[in-house]
Amino acid sequence: MTAAARALAVATLLLSACGGAVPTFLRATASLAVATSGGYRALRAYDADKQAGIQKRAKAGDPSGAEAELNDYAPKKAVALKVLDAASVGAEGAYAAVPVVGQALDAKKRAELAAWVPVLVKLGVDVVQALSVFGIKVPGLGGGP
């Protein structure tokens, strides 16, 4: 288990001990959404620098080298973006699972919410791992600022 996974698991346990099932679930969902937003912003910033470097290389007289660099980077970027998209879809799905105020929280619903928690944790860990390929640390996850 990575440090990020451990941190998320501990945070989830602490949150579970501090409040009820629905508030805990809402906090976990909001945390993933915030971390995913941070991941998107960080990837955009990284990409802007990377593409600027590639364009500079091409203009400096090495377009073939720049093209090779771009062709190496593009699939890695696509993978990171896909992981972020999966996390955002997961956060939206989790939010949709939150019972409306007044809705009975029966055993079935509680089990549904409980099943979401490891999914949210995994998505958060996936985001951290996908962005670490570029040396990006996600704020709030994996030791980012």
Could you list the residues that contact other proteins (CB under 8 A)?
19-23, 26-27, 29-30, 33-34, 36-37, 40-41, 43-44, 47-48, 51, 54-55, 58-59, 61, 63-64, 66-67, 70, 74, 77, 81, 84-85, 88, 91-92, 95, 98, 101, 105, 110
| Minimum separation from the CB atom of position 55 to other proteins (A) | 5
| Minimum separation from the CB atom of position 1 to other proteins (A) | 26
> Within a 10 A sphere around the Cβ of 56, how many other Cβ atoms?
11
Q: Which is nearer to other proteins, 7 or 84 (CB)?
A: 84
Q: How far apart are CA 50 and CA 25, in angstroms?
A: 37
Q: How far apart are CA 59 and CA 67, in angstroms?
A: 12
Based on C-alpha coordinates, what's the Rg of the chain?
Answer: 19
Q: How far apart are CA 59 and CA 63, in angstroms?
A: 7
Q: Which is nearer to other proteins, 92 or 112 (CB)?
A: 92
| Minimum separation from the CB atom of position 83 to other proteins (A) | 12
- Look at the block and give the residue holding tokens 């960080």: 42
